[in-house]
Chain A
Amino acid sequence: MNDLVRLVGLAQPLVSKHLRVLREVGLVGVREEGRQRMYSVNGQLLKPIHDWVKTYERSWSKRFDRLDVVLEELKEMKEDDGGKDE
Chain B
Amino acid sequence: MVVKTSSGTAVVTLPTDTQILITREFNAPGHLVYKAYTTPELIKRWWSGDRGEVTLAEVDLRVGGRWRYVMKANGGFEVGFHGEYREIVPNERLVTTEVYEGMPEGEAVVTHTFSEKDGRTTLTILMLLPSQADRDAVINSGMEGGMQESMDHLEQVAVSLSRRT
Contacts and interface: CB of A to CB of B under 8 A. Distances in A.
A53 B139 contact: yes
Contacts of B45: 66, 69-70
Q: How many B residues are at the interface, by size bracket?
A: 20 to 34
B123 to A, nearest CB: 8
Contact of A56 (B47, B48, B141): B141
A20 interface: no
B49 A62 contact: yes
**Main secondary structure on A side of the interface with B:** helix
B165 interface: no
B161 to A, nearest CB: 27
A64 B48 CA distance: 10
A61 to B, nearest CB: 4
Nearest to A75: B28
A71 interface: yes
Of listed A53, A60, A78, residue having the most chain B CB within 10 A = A60
B32 A71 contact: yes
A64 B146 CA distance: 17
A75 B32 contact: yes
Interface centre among A58, A62, A67, A78 (most CB of B within 10 A): A67
A67 to B, nearest CB: 4
Given A56-B141, A67-B46, 4 more contacts: A56-B20, A59-B49, A59-B51, A66-B49
Interface of A: 52-53, 55-72, 74-75, 78, 85
Interface of B: 7, 9-14, 20, 22, 24, 26-28, 31-33, 35-36, 42, 45-51, 138-139, 141-143, 145-146
28 contacts: A52-B139, A56-B138, A56-B141, A56-B142, A57-B22, A57-B142, A58-B142, A59-B49, A59-B146, A60-B22, A61-B9, A63-B49, A64-B9, A64-B10, A65-B49, A66-B48, A67-B26, A67-B36, A68-B7, A68-B27, A70-B42, A70-B46, A71-B27, A71-B33, A74-B28, A78-B32, A85-B31, A85-B35
